[in-house]
Each structure stands twice: as structure tokens, then as C-alpha cells.
Structure 1
Amino acid sequence: MNNSSADYILMNFTYRMDPLNVPFSMKVTYSSLISFLLIVGIPGNVLVVYVVGRYSAMQTTTNLYLMSLSIADLLHLAQIVFVVNVILTEKFIFGKWLCKLHLTLEATNSLAVTFILTATSVDRYLAVCHPLKSQTFRSPKVARTIIVLIWLICLFMLCPLFIYANITMNTKNNETTPQCMIDLGEKKLTFVQYTFILGFALPVCSISVFYLLVISKLRNIHRANISRSKDRRDSVQRIIKMILALILIYIVLWFPYWIHQWIIQFNDVDPILSFYVGLFTQFLGYLNSSINPILYAFLSQNFRVMFVQILNCQGNRFLKEVFPESSVIKRGRSLTSQIKTKQSSINNKTANSNFNHQAKCDDQEKNDIKNSVEFLETHFE
């Protein structure tokens, strides 16, 4: 391995760029791009956290995972502030402890996102394929416990980053500048291997398997009596396409990062090329954090209704004064009614599921299929 190239790679291990003489125009361009992702990603993730945290009716197991996902994305996007400063100034001015915290948080949040997405896929699999049997496991209490465990596991896996991260002084043109670096030495390869296997390979396999099982269930619904209507068949097809899109987007955004990590471990690579590839893969990671609210929350009917209701509430006072019969106000009232109706419907479905537990097998299967489709329609349409 080319040790010199490893010093210049933007890969959570170091931000040393000065020996590469990166053009200032390139620094400004990249800083502008990731700053744009920060501006776009923060409002969406904050809105998800607010909606789930503020309204108890939204605190379902799936939504709790989505809230945790948004928290991880927010912390990940917040690291852009450090990255932009380092890129433009070519030095880390925030001190030793913020260096440790910054590099550890960025890696931890990236890993947490992966684990949370895996938990979300398991949750959706249970809700669709085993709606009655999984009721005990799909409670908000269990979801909160799993979320806490995910964060603890991530911190444990990445504690070497916090231990080995430090400020290193670099001298260039008789000027000494502080650099935030992580020197894992011979342990670096081992670290990359186990984080790749546990933080990407296994989660991707799990996500793919559980979503493919969901798709298999949906394909079977085509042959069920309850799904003979054209609208329901079209709905199932849309859901299948959305699930496949989620799997593909996740792999496309994160696979290049890990390929890059493996290449620099086993091959001598050009430092400049490796650096620019590192920037690109880092950009994809930030892009993932900025669009996750769109992929996993804004597709949900309940979330969309809540988002519009919140926006309407903020403007209702002004609209009442200027346009007393505003259609927006009427829409806000209608959405409020929809929220109450949906919550009542959810409660009724839960109660009906309990009473139907002892029903005949064929009736139970019909109810399972209906609940499965309705669950996915709520989260993907």
C-alpha cells in the first residue's frame, strides 16, 4: 500500500490536503456543493423529528425508526461545517477533543444510518408478512430499545477512532498548521475489514433479503381475491417499484465509498486521484443523509398530511384575516379530520386484529393480506 496516499484521503481518517496543491476553485466548488446539501437536508430531517416527537399518534414503530434516522442524518450533516472549514483553510482549528468528536461522530452516524435502515426493513417485513404474530415485537417500547442498542453498538465498534484521533502538526513553507488525523497503523486494514462487513455488507444483504420477502408477499397478493381490482393491482406494482428503488439508491450511494476503501488498502494509488474519489464518495454519503427524509418519510401518507397541517397552522391566522374562506384553511381542517380518522382507523384495525385472531384460517389470511397492502400504501404512496 502507498502510505503517502493514505495521508491525503478524505475518508474519516484525515483531512490533510496541502501537499496535493488542490486548486482553490475546486475547494470552493466542493464546499458549495456539500453546503447546499446541508441547507437542503436540515429542514427535512428537523421536520421528521418534530412531527414524530410532537404528535403521539405518529409514534409508531416505523416512525420511531425514521425519527432516529433523521437524528443520525442531522448529526452527519452537521459535520459539514468542520469539513468546509478544513477544506478552505487546510487546517483544523477546533482543537484535539473536537477533532476526536468530529471524526467519531461522522463515522458513527454513517454506521447508525445503515443499522437503522436495516431495522426499518425488518419492521416493514414483520408488518407485511406477519402482521398478527409480530404485534408483540412491533411496539414503540421495543423500537426505542432497539434504537438505543443500535447507537451503543455503533459507538463500541468505532471507539478506536476516538482513541486514535489526534491533532498532528504539519509544516509547509515554514508554516506549521494543525491537522486532524487518525493513525491506526497496522490496525487500519483490520478496522476497514470489520466495519465493511458489519457496517455495509451484512446490512445490505439483510435489507435486500427482507425487502425481497416483502415483494414476494406482494406478488402473492395479485392472486388473492382481495386484490382483483385494477386500483389495488396498480398500487401493489407502485409499492414494489418503490421498494426496489430504495434498495438500489442505498447501494449506489454507499457502495463507491467502500470500494474506494478497499482499493487504497491493497493497491498503490495516485494520491491526487484517490483524494478526488474520496471527495466524491463523501459527497454521496452527505447526499444520502439529505434525501433520506424524502425516501423514507415524505412518501408516507401520514407524514405528508402532518407536514401540510403544520404549515397550514403557521399561516392560518394570517389567512383568516385576509381570506376568511381560504381554500387552504379548508384544506387544513380537512387534513385535521383525516388525521383523526386515520388514527381511529388504526385503532380499529388493531382491535379487529385481536378479535380475529381466533377466526378461521382463510379469513385471517384475507385480513393479513389487506392489512399488509394498507400498511405499505400508507408508507409508500
Structure 2
Amino acid sequence: MNKKILIIGGYGNVGRIIATELGKRFPRQVIVAGRNYQKAKEFSLELGQQVIPMALDISHISANEKSLDDVGIVMMCLDLESIEFVRLCIQRRIHYIDISASYSILSQIEKLNKEAEVARATVILSVGLAPGLTNLLTKHCQSKVPGMTYADIYILLGMGDIHGDAALQWTLENLSGEFTIRDNEGTKQVKSFEDSKQTVFPGKSGKRTAYRFNFSDQHVLPQTLDLKSVSTRLCFDSAWMTSLLAVMKKTGVSRLLTLNGVEGLLVSLLKRLHFGSAEFVVKVDGGNLLGKGALYECSLWGEVEGRVTGLVAAKVAEKLVLSSYPAGVFHIEQLFTLHEFLENLGQHGLKFEEKECVTA
């Protein structure tokens, strides 16, 4: 490995997992970067200096462009406000990996495909749990259902898990949102935390009601897998919290969460109050719209959502180091299959289940 892996936001919740995994695999070839050099340094010391600390503010990258001189892969663990830094990486033929769940930024990066092809840089998006494993599960279902036309994605998150500020803020901001999705031959507007649907999760979670939420996989998969309809729904391991949020959305109270000061206060409160478990489940039902129900379903479940996002991202980076991939902008399911990750995830306690469904 001649060049280094730069993890921006490398001492955050997910970045720490990525850095730990890659630091063991490529010691002293991984750079942990962010605005706070002291945090980066302290984390480096925790890892026995297997990773290199760096102070880097990507909002002023022109003043720090030399920081990229010895970098072969950039991993973005922060929410971007623009795609100019991604464009800079491409221009310098630096491969780029992004764990963002926001389609607003991912859709902008998609438009850099031609530039990436010309520069011979590989850009990989939708890397994590959702999007990420949800994309790969959907692709796996499609391999089992010839002519599959739709996928219903369900995500259950544990209220007892430790979520970063950015993840909590993103969830609250999207609670009252509307978004456009592809439905059969056209498009339609849907609202977050409405359009509920019941499903049975594996393990101890059982039957739950989940609600539409603006995860990017439902925007991406109709394009990359040529599906007519994809929906993503969210619920929490705490059934009463899920119901409370649905009521808040229905009554309009959820709009108050976006007011100045209220969102920050609630994020701080949620970080302190841990009730429920750290378990998560992602499940995909796949079928044909001409049928009466799902034809195949598969699920992955385990504990600590951020840890799994980090494990998936680290594995993608490792593959990018060790193998050649085409130039351009891709989502994870366009370059990889689910089985390339299952063994590693199984070693970290994740369980996988798949089965053919009996339709009515």
C-alpha cells in the first residue's frame, strides 16, 4: 500500500470503528482527521499510535490541500454541505467512500460520475447499514426472485444504542419531511412517519409497525437495480416511542422539533436517556407487483448500528486497497454482493436469515 487512507471525522462514533479496523489491517497507513487535533491525537494514543492524527477542516481545504498529497483513499464520516471536496478528491485521482444517509448530497455526488471516469477515481456511496446493507439485502432478494419488481425495506433501531449527534439531528430533521419516491411507472409525494405497514422481524423483536422514512436506499435502488417500487420504513425497539412519534407527526407537534434550540435540546436529552436495547434489525421483502405478497425475505440483525456501519465501511476500504474497481460513481450494490460481507459481520455477532415466502 503506497498511499494512505484518510478518515475525515475519524474520531467520531463511526469513524473510530473504521479507524480501529483499518489500523489493525494497515498500521501507520491510516490518518484520523478532523477539526480537533487533540481528539485525533488522543484517539491515536488509544490505538497504540497505529493511526496518524491530523487536524483538517474541509470547509477550508484550499488552505490545507497539501494534506491530500500522500492520500489514496478518503473516507467521509461527516455530513457534507457541498460536493466541492469530493470533486477535489476526484481531480486528484483519490478514491472516495461516503457513509451518508442523505440522498440530497448523494444525488449531487452521482453527477460527478463522468469526472470520476476521466480521472480514473472510484467513488463508492451508500456504505453502511441503511443505506448499505439494506441495498445489498435488496440485491440478494432480487437474485432469488426472477423478475422482482418491488422491495419493502424495514429498519428497526434500538433506543438503547449510542447514536452520534449528526445521526440524531438527521432523524429529527426528517421526521416532518416530505419526499418524492418512484412508484410503479411514476412518482409520488410521501411524508415521513406516515404510510405505516406491519412486518414480523426475526429474533425477539416480533411483529411491529414501521413508518415511511427518507432513507436514501429507496431513491437509489429503483435506478441501480431497475425496480419499479422501493419503500423504506422505520421503527424503534420501543413500540411506545414509535407510536408517540407517529402521533406527534399526525398532530403536527413534530414540527416544533425543528425550531431553534428545541432540536439541540432534544439531541442532548436523547444522548443521556438510554432506554430499550442496542439491537437493530434490517429486513427486506422482495416480490412482484403482479403477485399477492412477498416472494422472498432476508434479514440481518445484531447490536450497535454505528459499529456495523463502521465495519461495512472498513471492509469496502480494504477491498478498494487490495483490488481494482472501475472508475466512476457507484453505490455499494453496484460493486459488491452481500456474501462478501457476511463472514466478517458474522464474526462480530451479526445474524443472517433468509427464506422463501408462501404467498396467499
Which has the larger helix fraction? 1
TM range (shorter): under 0.3
Higher relative contact order (CA 8 A, sep 6+): 1
Q: Which is greater in Rg?
A: 1
TM-score, scaled to structure 1: 0.21
